[in-house]
Structures are given as C-alpha cells and as structure tokens.
C-alpha cells in the first residue's frame, strides 16, 4: 500500500492527492475549532437540565451562520438558532434505545436517581430490544431479558420487542433481533431527529440523516427520566465519494478504506458526513453499513443526507412527521476527503484492528478456519443476497464451516422467501444449502461479540477454528470468543469467496 502524505491546503476547491487508491484530502485553513480551554474550578456545582418543552419548528431555514447537517440537527434539538463545534448543548432526544446488555444497568440508574416509582419521560420514545445474549442457557443473560420485560410492563413501554420462547424464535412475533437493524426496519430511524442508544453502533442510524450516537448507561438513565442529554457539538469530517461503484465492491469496502486511511482514532469525537454520487447510489442497507462503522474510527456519529432512497425506505414504516436537514453550501468542515470509488479494490481489516487495512488479494495465502456472515454491519438481507450471489456464480461448495446469522427475524424470513436475482427463482437459503453452508441461525447478535460460551458460532477454541473471515465490525482479540482468535473483517462478497477457497480471497475470482 502506498504511503500517505497529509498535506494542509489553503484552497477548498482542489484536492491534494493522498494515495494511489484514490483518497485525497485537504484541510481548509480558515476553520479552527473553538478552544475548549477553561480554568477548572474545585467548586462542585449541580447542573440541572432545562425543562422539556415542545419541539419548536425548524430553525434551520434562516440561519445566521452556515452549519453542517449534524450542527443543524443539534441546533434544532437544543432549540437554538445556531451552534458551533465544541459547544455543549442540552438536546431533546427523539428516541432512546437500550438492549439486554445495558438495559438493566440503565434501568437501575433511572430508578436510583429518579425514584423507585418514577415514570419514564415518554413511553413512546423509548425502544427496548433484546438482541445480544438471547439463545443461551446462561442464567444471568436470561435474567437480563426478564428485567427488561418487567420494566416495560411497569412503564407500559410501547416499543418492547420481547422474546419469551427461546426454543423457537418464530413463536415470538414481537421479537426482532439486532437492535440497529430492527430500529431501521421498525421505522425508528427518521431524518433530522436525535437517536441515542446504549450501544456504540447506534451510529448506524445516521444512514437516515439522523443524529445517532451511542451513550453510556448513566447518560441513558438520565435521558430515560428527562428526555434530554448534554452533548458537545462535534466538528465534521466530510467524505465525498464519487465514481462508479465496481460490481465487486460493497459499502464495507468503502468504510474499511476510510478507517484504514484515517485510523481508529482519526475521527475521535467528530461527525463523519458521507456525500457524493457513489453514496447517493447506495441502498439504505449499504448506507447503514457505512455509518455503522464510523465508531471504529472514533466518530461521534455518521450521517448521510436523506434523499428519495431514504423516503422510499421509510414508506409505511412510520407515521411520525420528520424534517430532514442538509449541510449548507458554505458550511465549515474540519477536513474533507475525496474518494474515487471506481479505483478501490476489495479490502479486509487484518487482526486485530479495524484500521489494519489490506487488499484481499494481498492476503490470499492466509488460511482460514471459518466464515461468519452476520451482525448489524453484515447480517442484513442485502448482505446475504451478496453472499448468495458469489456462491451462485461459483457453483461450488464451501471449504470451511460457514455460519449465517441473520440480524433480525425479518432478514431470516427474507432468506427463505426472496429470490436471488439471476438464480431462476432460488432463495438465499436454497443457495446456501447447495453451497454447504450451515443452516441460517436464529436472529441475534450471535457470536459478533462472543457472548456466553454456548453462543452459536462462537470461537471457543484456542488453536482449531481460530482464523475467521467475518462480515462483522470489530476484530479485537477475544471479540468473537477466544482471545487467540484471528478475525479478518470483510464484505459479504469477500467472506463468501473466502468460504469457497478456505483462504482470504478476492471476490473478483468469482464475480468477473
């Protein structure tokens, strides 16, 4: 891979070539983030949140200062005419999401701080989704879901996607699966709104032009009681992705390229805005993949401007009125990057960091023991359709165990109902069976984050089955189970191609 040269430029109209893969950047010299240096006082003061009030109409129609879309969303949510990066503002939260891992802790803090008999701020704005440690006999994990159920009954929470019968997920029509995909499918992701969740990949919902970010249990307990959160406005990095998307690339390749370029700390507490003709050509599920992994670069949130693709996806999913915002033409970005996607190649992130970027073809000698297709990043319907496309094109059988974990119940149903284009009417499940993959598992986070030892497809052994190509988003030591496991993050195309050879494989071997 070519070395990179970071160059500061003064002209906002030209890009300085950064490397041979088409990623360029410039740094407008006119923009400086506000200094946050302040003298610390030893005096402890208690900070009260402002009272919850009705959301005012958008203030973004007549702004005094140009703003990015993230700044506009935060300005509106904090009832200000404008905000600047570095400013702390109380935002009104539109949706608070929690799940079985962090929900019990959040509930505990809510009750401790607001009282045993306190009521949540809005029973219709809290979404509770069991999804992480579901299909396990681990008693503590099961107890977590029981705690959520009791709380939702007590508070009459409107959106609780419960599961009671662990033996057959289909006997639980309310059960969805992985929270971030379920939030989108159930219409909780809406342009211009603020969605906070007790999960770092809450940034997934930025695909809808929403401000979406992960928060801790303490903040979530506060939101539960007040509907408000104190947030610092992040500066924005803008990624302009143009050019025709090659048929062998997916959004996973784009975000691995970006994280590889800026590193896992490159967007720390920054917003990552994705624009350009290549982004506009992406489906909503692909835009979710892009935004899902901004946190792997340290990003506070990711955003894609809402457009006709967004509105079409939302049709029939929500009756809540939403009001999208867009960056002003002269908005100030901390840095801009231009990427010509037509020049990119299929990528992987090698162990043990999402920024350990390499071309898939550079890793062709890496022998693997398993392939995992699943998670909020890589377990959506289109991810499985992509994998099926590779299996179909090859007509071959997999050489290593290939585990399939649909993100949600709807994705699982799609695998058995939707015909794969060009297959003569075959479904994904038929193609997977013919290729020798494992039967699609019950929808959940599965082994994406390891989980209890009896979690399906968990990497339990230190030596055998320890190298995995995975469509998930993190490859830290121990992430999918045993700490000796080695995880290569990849697109569904690359994962499927690798399953067919038993080595990390460039999907062009089958797709061209």
Contact positions vs ligand SF4 (CB under 6 A): 132, 178-180, 199, 201, 375-376, 445, 448-449, 472-473
Strand partners, 194: 211
* Closest listed residue to residue 143, CA positions, set 127, 161, 130: 130
Read off the tokens for 298. Answer: 């340290």
Q: Smallest distance, Å, CB 160 to ligand SF4?
A: 17
Going by C-beta distance under 8 Å and a sequence separation of 6 or more, which residues neighbour residue 227?
Answer: 52, 92, 93, 121, 122, 125
Kindly tell me which of 443 and 507 has the beta carbon lying closer to ligand SF4: 443
Please tell me what DSSP assigns to residue 130.
Answer: -
- DSSP annotation of 207: G
Cβ(178)–Cβ(379) under 8 Å? Answer: yes
Question: What is the smallest separation between the CB atom of 292 and ligand SF4, expressed in angstroms?
Answer: 8
User: H helices then E strands: how many in the chain?
Assistant: 15, 19
Q: How far is the CB of 479 from ligand SF4 (least distance, A)?
A: 9
Q: Which of 85/443 has CB closer to ligand SF4?
A: 443
* Nearer CB in complex with ligand SF4: 67/288: 288
- What is the closest distance, in whole angstroms, from the C-beta atom of residue 177 to ligand SF4 in the complex? 9
Angle separating helix axes 381-394 and 492-501, nearest 10 degrees: 40
The CB-of-433 to ligand SF4 minimum distance in angstroms stands at 24
Residue closer to ligand SF4, measured from CB, 129 or 467: 129
Shortest gap between Cβ of 375 and ligand SF4 (angstroms)? 4
Cβ-based nearer residue to ligand SF4, 159 or 322? 159
* Helix ranges restricted to H, 427-491: 428-435
Of the pair 101, 437, the CB lying nearest ligand SF4 is at 101
User: Whose Cβ is closer to ligand SF4: residue 251's or residue 445's?
Assistant: 445
Cβ proximity to ligand SF4: between 132 and 370 the closer is: 132
DSSP code at position 53: -
Q: How far is the CB of 405 from ligand SF4 (least distance, A)?
A: 9
Q: Pick the closest to residue 418 from 430, 404, 407, 434 (CA basis).
A: 430
The strand pair at 88-92 and 228-232 is best described as antiparallel
Which of residues 21 and 181 has its CB atom nearest to ligand SF4 in the complex? 181
Burial of 445: CB neighbours in 10 Å, binned 0-12, 13-18, 19+ = buried
Reference 472, options 201, 213, 187, 100; nearest CA is 201
How far is Cα 506 from Cα 424, in angstroms, rounded to an integer?
26
Cα dihedral value 409, 498, 478, 107, nearest 10: -20
CB of 184 to ligand SF4, least distance (A): 13
Least Å distance, CB 414 to ligand SF4, is: 17
């Amino acid at each position: 891979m070519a070395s990179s040269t970071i160059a500061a430029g003064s002209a906002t109209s030209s890009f300085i070539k950064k490397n041979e893969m088409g990623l360029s950047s410039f740094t407008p010299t006119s923009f400086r983030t506000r200094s946050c240096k302040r003298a610390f006082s030893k005096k402890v003061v208690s900070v009260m949140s402002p009272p919850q009030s009705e959301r005012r109409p958008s203030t973004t129609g007549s702004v005094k200062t140009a703003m990015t879309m993230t700044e506009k969303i935060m300005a509106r949510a904090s009832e200000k005419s404008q905000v600047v990066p570095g400013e702390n503002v109380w935002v009104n939260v539109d949706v608070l999401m929690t799940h079985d891992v962090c929900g019990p802790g959040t509930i505990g803090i809510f009750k401790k701080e607001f009282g045993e008999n306190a009521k949540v701020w809005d029973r219709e704005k809290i979404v509770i989704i069991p999804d992480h440690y579901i299909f396990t006999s681990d008693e503590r994990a099961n107890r977590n879901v029981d705690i959520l159920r009791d709380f939702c009954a007590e508070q009459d929470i409107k959106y609780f996607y419960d599961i009671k019968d662990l033996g057959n997920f289909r006997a639980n029509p309310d059960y969805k699966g992985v929270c971030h995909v379920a939030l989108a499918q159930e219409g909780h992701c809406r342009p211009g709104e603020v969605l906070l969740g007790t999960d770092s990949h809450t940034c997934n919902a930025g695909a809808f032009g929403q401000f979406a970010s992960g928060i801790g249990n303490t903040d979530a307990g506060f939101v539960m009681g007040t509907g408000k959160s104190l947030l610092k406005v992040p500066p924005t990095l803008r990624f302009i992705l143009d050019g025709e998307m090659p048929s062998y690339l997916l959004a996973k390749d784009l975000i691995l390229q970006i994280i590889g370029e800026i590193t896992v700390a490159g967007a720390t507490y920054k917003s990552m805005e994705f624009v350009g003709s290549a982004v506009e050509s992406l489906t909503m599920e692909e835009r979710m993949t892009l935004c899902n992994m901004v946190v792997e670069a340290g990003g506070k949130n990711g955003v894609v401007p809402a457009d006709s693709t967004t509105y079409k996806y939302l049709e029939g999913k929500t009756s809540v009125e939403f009001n999208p915002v867009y960056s002003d033409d002269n908005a100030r970005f901390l840095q801009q990057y231009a990427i010509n996607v037509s020049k990119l190649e299929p990528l992987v992130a090698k162990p043990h960091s999402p920024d350990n970027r390499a071309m898939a073809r550079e890793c062709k000698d890496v022998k693997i023991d398993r392939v995992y297709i699943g998670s909020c990043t890589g377990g959506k319907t289109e991810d499985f359709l992509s994998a099926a496309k590779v299996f179909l094109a090859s007509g071959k059988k997999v050489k290593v165990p290939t585990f399939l974990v649909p993100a949600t119940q709807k994705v699982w149903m799609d695998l058995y109902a939707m015909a794969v284009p060009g297959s003569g009417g075959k479904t994904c499940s038929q193609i997977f069976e013919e290729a020798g993959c494992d039967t699609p598992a019950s929808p959940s986070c599965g082994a994406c984050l390891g989980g209890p030892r009896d979690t399906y497809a968990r990497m339990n052994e230190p030596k055998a089955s320890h190298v995995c190509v995975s469509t998930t988003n993190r490859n830290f030591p121990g992430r999918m189970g045993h700490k000796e496991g080695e995880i290569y993050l990849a697109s569904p195309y690359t994962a499927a191609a690798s399953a067919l050879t038993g080595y990390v494989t460039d999907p062009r071997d089958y797709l061209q």
